[in-house]
Each structure stands twice: as C-alpha cells, then as structure tokens.
C-alpha cells in the first residue's frame, strides 16, 4: 500500500519536485546563513573583521581565535556543565511529561482544568518577573550556586511546554487504534508500549529537543544562580566576550559560539531519523 501511494505521488510530481528542491534551498539560505557567518568570522583576525573591504572568506585558516577562546573562558568545563544540566533536565522532563500528558488527554478528570490553567499561567506571566521569587526560594533551600538548582528550575519550566505539546500529539492519535488493541485483549500497558509510544516518538523527539536546547542556551537564570567559575554554563562563558557599550571580541565569540552550538546540532543529527515514524504500519496490525 505504501509503495502504491508513493509511486503515484512521484508520478504526479515530475514538475513539482525541482520546485520543491528550490523552495527548500531558499529556506536553507534564510535559516542557515549564520553557520556560514560563524565559520568565516571565527577564522578572521580583528583587523580583517573591522575592515570594510574584507571578503566573505577569511584570508587564511587561523585557529588563534579558537585557542584564545578556549583559554580565556574555560569552554570545556562550561560545556561539561551545560551537557550535564541539559541531559539531566531532558531526561527528567521526558520521564515526567509522557505519562502525565497521556493521563490528561485520555482520562477526563478535574486535573485537566488545573493543568491547563497552570500551563497557560506559567507561560503567560513574564518569566523575567518570576526570577526573583524563584531565586529567593532556591536560596532558602540551599541550592544557590549549584547545578542541581539549575536542573530543577529548567525541568519545571520546560514541563509546561512538553506537557502541552505532548497532549496535542496524544490527542492526534485516534482512540480507535487503542480500542482495537484492547479488543484484541492487550492490557493497557501493552497497548501503551506497542501502539501509543511508537506513534508518539516524533512528538517525544520534538519536545525533548526543545528541553535540551532551552536548557543548553538559558542565560538569565544561570547568571543569577551561578557564581562559582567551575560551575558556569556555556552561555555564561560566552558572555565573557562581550564588554561594555557594544565592545565585542567578535572573532573569539564566534569561535566559542561555533563550539557551543555544534553539540545541539550533532544531537539533532543523530535523533532526527526518529522524527520519521516508520513504525506506523506495524502499529495498526498489532
């Protein structure tokens, strides 16, 4: 069936396909040019960066910005801290949000109204105004200057998004699929594992990516919570390259930023296949 649908689609779109590639290329130029910008900037000397006549490409591959940046801001320690925080946060959020989202959609209880209210309130109220009460709270329970404090805050504040989106993905799964499985005599857990989870995989990837990147990039709360240089996360380290009144060590900043955004991209490169739910036909037969 799949092959049939695909061949007919391809047959119809002999003209459409080149257009699709063209559109995709346009999107990529719009979205991905910063990578080019970072790559070229990171290899330029301060003199080249200030020169109005300099070409797009650096004169030569000069690694000084990278070595200087790593020396100056202790990027590896910061990257280690960021990785620890982002991975732990993502794990917690996924483990908590998945069952909760399922329950909120499939069981119509009073919890749902509460959860919806909380989710919306937590997103609508400007986070910037929550920082101080949150900081005071963490101070009272002794979590200032700890990565655990960051993890807890990031987890709790990423949860509304994950819950909200996962509810959308669960709601998009026809209940009939689950009922069919139940009629076949499968228990609820088995139904969850064999029908719901595979269908939810793309949604889980999307939400965990969200949590990962947001924890990886969060700046403001880390700024107030973390003082110890050994505890600083990458965004804090990057702030070292920006001075007063728009002074920036651009070459080093670009080098550091390039190193900082690569992990997110690699992480996504590895999991993006999961965004393709090739497991669907199996689910229906089950």
Partner 1 sequence: MRTRNSVVAGVLALPLALTGCSAFGVGGGDDEGGAVTLTFQSLAFQDTTIAATQEIVDAWNEANPDVQVELVQGSWDNVHDQLVTQFQGGTAPDVIHDESADIMGFAEQGYLADLAPHLSDEVTAAVSEDVWKSVTTGDGAVVAAPTLLQSYVVFANTAAFADAGAALPTGDTLPWDDFQSLAAQLTAGETYGVGWGLQQPTATVMNLSLGFDGTYFTGTGADAAIEVGDAELAVPERIHAMAYDDASLDPVSLTQSGSDVLPGFFDGKYAMYVAGNYIAQQITESAPEGFEWAVLPPLAGTAGAVQAANPQTMSVAAESEHVEEAAAFIDFFMQADHQAALAQGDWLIPASGEARAAVAEQTAGENGWEAILASGEGLSAAPFQSAVDYPQWKDQYATPALQQYLADEITLDQLRDQLTDGWSELG
Partner 2 sequence: MSAVRSRRREGRDAWLLVLPALLPVMLFSVYPLVYGVLLGFTDAAAGLGVETHFNGLDNYVELAGNELFWKSFKIGLVWAFSVTILQFLASLGLALLLNLDLRLRWLARTLALIPWAMPPVIIAIMWQLMLNPSYGPVNRALDAIGLPGGVNWLGEAAVALPVVIVVGVWAGMPQTTVTLLAGLQSVPAELNEAAAIDGASTWRRFWHVTLPALRPIITAITTLDLIWNFNSFALVFVLTAGGPGGTTMLPSLFAYNEAFRYGHFGYAAAMGNVMVVLIGAFLILYLRAQSRRRFQ
Query: 47-86: which residues touch partner 1 (CB under 8 A)?
Result: 47, 49-53, 72, 84
Query: 168-207: which residues touch partner 1 (CB under 8 A)?
Result: 189
CA 125 to chain centre: 22
Residue 46 makes contact with partner 1 by CB under 8 A: yes
Residue 21 makes contact with partner 2 by CB under 8 A: yes
Which residue in 75, 85, 147, 234 binds partner 2 (CB under 8 A)?
234
Spatial separation of the C-alpha atoms in residues 116 and 124, rounded to whole Å: 12
Residue 76 makes contact with partner 2 by CB under 8 A: no
H-helix or E-strand containing 230? Answer: none
Q: Virtual CA dihedral for 206, 211, 217, 223, nearest 10 degrees?
A: 170
Query: 189-218: which residues touch partner 2 (CB under 8 A)?
Result: 199-200, 202-203, 205-206, 209-210, 213, 217
- Answer with the entry of partner 2, partner 1, none that 11 interacts with (C-beta below 5 to 8 A by kind): none
138 in Cβ contact with 76 (< 8 Å): no
Minimum separation from the CB atom of position 198 to partner 1 (A):
19
Residue 145: what are its φ and ψ, rounded to 5°? 65, 30
Minimum separation from the CB atom of position 82 to partner 1 (A):
13
Instruction: Work out the number of other CB atoms within 10 angstroms of the CB of residue 227.
Output: 10
Minimum separation from the CB atom of position 134 to partner 1 (A):
10
- Answer with the entry of partner 2, partner 1, none that 57 interacts with (C-beta below 5 to 8 A by kind): none
Which residues share a beta bridge with 248? 242
Spatial separation of the C-alpha atoms in residues 131 and 165, rounded to whole Å: 24
Minimum separation from the CB atom of position 60 to partner 2 (A):
21
């Amino acid at each position: 069936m799949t092959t049939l649908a695909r061949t007919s689609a391809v047959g119809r779109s002999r003209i459409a396909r080149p257009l699709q590639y063209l559109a995709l290329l346009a999107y990529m130029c719009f979205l991905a040019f910063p990578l080019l910008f970072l790559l070229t900037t990171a290899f330029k000397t301060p003199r080249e960066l200030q020169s109005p006549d300099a070409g797009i490409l650096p004169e030569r591959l000069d690694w000084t910005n990278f070595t200087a940046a790593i020396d100056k801001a202790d990027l590896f320690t910061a990257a280690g801290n960021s990785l620890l925080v982002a991975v732990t946060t993502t794990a917690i959020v996924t483990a908590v949000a998945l069952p909760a989202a399922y329950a909120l959609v499939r069981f119509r209880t009073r919890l749902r109204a509460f959860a919806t209210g909380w989710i919306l309130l937590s997103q609508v109220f400007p986070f910037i105004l929550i920082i101080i009460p949150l900081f005071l709270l963490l101070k009272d329970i002794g979590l200032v200057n700890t990565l655990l404090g960051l993890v807890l805050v990031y987890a709790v504040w990423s949860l509304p998004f994950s819950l909200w989106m996962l509810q959308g993905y669960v709601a998009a799964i026809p209940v009939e699929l689950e009922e069919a499985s139940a009629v076949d005599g499968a228990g609820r857990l088995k139904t969850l594992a064999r029908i719901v989870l595979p269908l939810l995989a793309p949604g889980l990837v999307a939400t965990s990516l969200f949590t990962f990147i947001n924890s990886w990039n969060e700046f403001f709360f880390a700024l107030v919570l973390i003082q110890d240089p050994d505890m600083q996360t990458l965004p804090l380290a990057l702030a070292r390259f920006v001075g007063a009144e728009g002074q920036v060590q651009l070459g080093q900043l670009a080098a550091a930023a390039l190193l900082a955004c690569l992990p997110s991209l690699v992480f996504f490169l590895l999991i993006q296949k999961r965004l393709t739910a090739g497991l669907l036909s199996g689910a229906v037969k089950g």
